[in-house]
Amino acid sequence: MVQDNRSASYPEPGASPATSPTAAPGHAERVAALRARLAAQPPDLPVRLAKRTSNLFRSRSRTSAGLDVSELTHVLDVDPVARTADVEGMVTYERLVDATLPHGLMPLVVPQLKTITVGGAVTGLGIESSSFRNGMPHESVLEAEILTGDGEVVIARPDGEHSELFFGFPNSYGTLGYALRLRIELEPVRPYVRLRHVRHTDPSTYFAELARVCAEGAADFVDGTVFGSDELYLTLGTFTDEAPRLSDYTWLDIYYRSVREHDIDYLHTRDYLWRWDTDWFWCSRALGVQNRPVRLLLGPQRLRSDVYWKVVAFDRRYDLSNRVNRLLGRPRREAVVQDVEVPVDAAAEFLDFLHRDVPLSPVWICPVRQRHPDRQWPLYELDPNTLYVNFGFWGTVPTRKGAPRGVHNRSVEEKVTELGGRKSLYSEAFYDERTFWSLYGGVAYERLKRRYDPRGRLLDLYAKCVRAE
C-alpha cells in the first residue's frame, strides 16, 4: 500500500485532531469596521465588493464604489462533533478544506476552484461531483450573518424573522447584501478517493447510466467528461482507506487527460477535491502551459486557476486575442464560458445541440439534485424531484461577419430555457428583462429588495448580471 506523507489517516469524525483551529478573534470588530465603511460610501454610486481576485466572467463596472471586505477571511470555528464550520464570507474553499480535513471532514460541496469563496458560492451558487446527493453549497448553510444594503446586520435561518432572505440569498450575487459569516454543515471523509472512468459511445445510454448510478447512491462522487459524441466518460469516485498507488496531478501530469488513460485511479482526498484547479479543467491549454517543459519551468505554485484567470482577464480587457485574429485575417471569436443545468431526460438533446452549434470540447458533466425536496430557492428554482445535469463548456468559437454580439451565448440561453433548465449567472448573460425575471424569481426578488435594500445602495440583479453596470 502507498505510504504518503500527506495522507496520514484522518481521525474518526468527532475525535479531536492533534491540532485544533481556534476561533479567530475580532469578528465583531471586523463587522463593525465594514459597516462603517459602507456608511462612508458615496450615496450616489452603487456599492460593490472591492476584491483582489474574482471567478466571474462578465464585465464589471469600474465606476462603482468598492467596499473592502479583505479582512473577512477567517475560519472562525470547526466543530468536529456537530460537524459544522463557522467561516467568514471571504474564506476561500482552499483555506476551509485545509481547516476541516485534519478533523476528517469536508464541506458537503467543494466547488472546483481553490479561490472560490464560501460567500461567493452561496450567493452565486456552486456545484461539484457530490452535488447529486448534496445539492449546491447554499443547501448546507445552517445560518447566515448578512450585511444588508441598508447597513443592518441580520442572522438569516430557515425559520424566523429573516427566513425569506435565507432562501432568497442564493443567486442574488451580492445585490441583497453580503455574507459576513456562514455556518455550514460538514461530512466525514477518508484518506483516499478511488476513481473509475467508464467510457460510453452513445449519449442516450450515457445519461441513462448517469441517472441510474445517482439513484443507487453507491458512489460518493459522480461527474463526467465528454470529448465527443461517441467518447463520453462517466467518473465514479468512492472514499477508501487504502490505495495501491497514488496519482499526482498537481504539477507535471494532467488530470483530464488521465480520464482517457486509466480505467482505475487513486488520489489523495485533498488532491481529488482540487483535481480540476491545476489546469482550470482543461482551459490552461489555451495558455500554452500543458507542455511538459513549460510546466517544469513554472512549477506547481503557478499552475493554479487564479493565475490563469488574471491572464484571461488581461486579454479580455484589451481584446488582445481578437486583435491578433484581425491581423492574421482570421474571424472574430466569441467567448462562450457557461455552466447550465438541464433535466437529465433532456441532456442528450442538449449535448447534441452543443456539438452542432457550439463546438467546444471537452465538456464537463456534473449531476445535481436539490438536497431538500421540501425547500424552495426562488432565485434559482429547480424541480426538487428532478435530477439535472450541469454542462460546463468554456472556450471561444468563431462568429460569422456581421453576426449580433453574443450570438452563440444567446442560442445557449434559448435552448436551456426551451428544455426547462437554468443558466448560471457568473458569466455573460443576454436575456431581455422580462424573460430574466420570469426565470430568476422576479416577484420574490422585488419583495426582498424593498425590505433589505430600500434605498437601492446595491445594484439589482438584472443590472449586475446582464447589463454589467
User: Is 34 among the domain residues?
Assistant: yes
- pLDDT at residue number 167: 98
- pLDDT at residue number 25: 74
Q: Give me the helix-helix angle, 320-327 and 305-318, nearest 10°.
A: 60
Please, are residues 202 and 230 in contact by the beta-carbon 8 Å criterion? Answer: yes
Q: How far apart are CA 107 and CA 96, in angstroms?
A: 8
Q: How far apart are CA 105 and CA 189, in angstroms?
A: 5
Query: Which domain covers residue 58, as residue numbers?
Result: 27-188
DSSP track, 250-303: TTTS-HHHHHHH-SEEEEEHHHHHTTTTTTTTTGGGGGT--SHHHHHHH-GGG-
What is the pTM for the complete model shown? 0.92
Handedness of CA 248, 368, 116, 241 (dihedral sign): negative
Exposure of 58 in the CB half-sphere (CA atoms within 13 A): 20
User: Is 394 among the domain residues?
Assistant: no
> CATH number of the domain that 52 lies in?
3.30.465.10
User: Is 56 among the domain residues?
Assistant: yes
User: Is 334 among the domain residues?
Assistant: no
CA-to-CA separations, 330 to 118, 319, 355, 427, in angstroms, rounded: 41, 14, 22, 25
User: Is 64 among the domain residues?
Assistant: yes
User: Is 163 among the domain residues?
Assistant: yes
User: Is 210 among the domain residues?
Assistant: no
- What burial class does residue 256 get, using C-beta atoms within 10 Å of its C-beta: 0-12 exposed, 13-18 middle, 19+ buried? buried
- pLDDT at residue number 223: 98
Please, are residues 224 and 188 in contact by the beta-carbon 8 Å criterion? Answer: no
- The tally of domains found in the chain comes to 1
- pLDDT at residue number 189: 98
- The tens place of each residue's pLDDT in the chain, 469 residues long, gives 664 444 444 544 444 443 334 445 799 999 999 999 999 988 888 887 776 666 565 565 555 558 889 999 999 999 999 999 999 999 999 999 999 999 999 999 999 999 999 999 999 999 999 999 999 999 999 999 999 999 999 999 999 999 999 999 999 999 999 999 999 999 999 999 999 999 999 999 999 999 999 999 999 999 999 999 999 999 999 999 999 999 999 999 999 999 999 999 999 999 999 999 999 999 999 899 999 999 999 999 999 999 988 888 777 777 777 677 777 777 788 999 999 999 999 999 999 999 999 999 999 999 999 999 999 999 999 999 999 999 999 999 998 888 899 999 999 999 999 999 999 999 999 999 999 999 999 999 999 999 999 999 999 999 999 998 7
- pLDDT at residue number 62: 53
Q: Are strands 65-68 and 47-50 parallel, antiparallel or unpaired?
A: parallel
- pLDDT at residue number 112: 92
Q: What DSSP designation does 17 have?
A: P
Torsion of CA 294, 297, 300, 302, to 10 degrees: -80
User: What are the cell numbers at 409?
Assistant: 451565448
User: Is 118 among the domain residues?
Assistant: yes
- pLDDT at residue number 330: 77
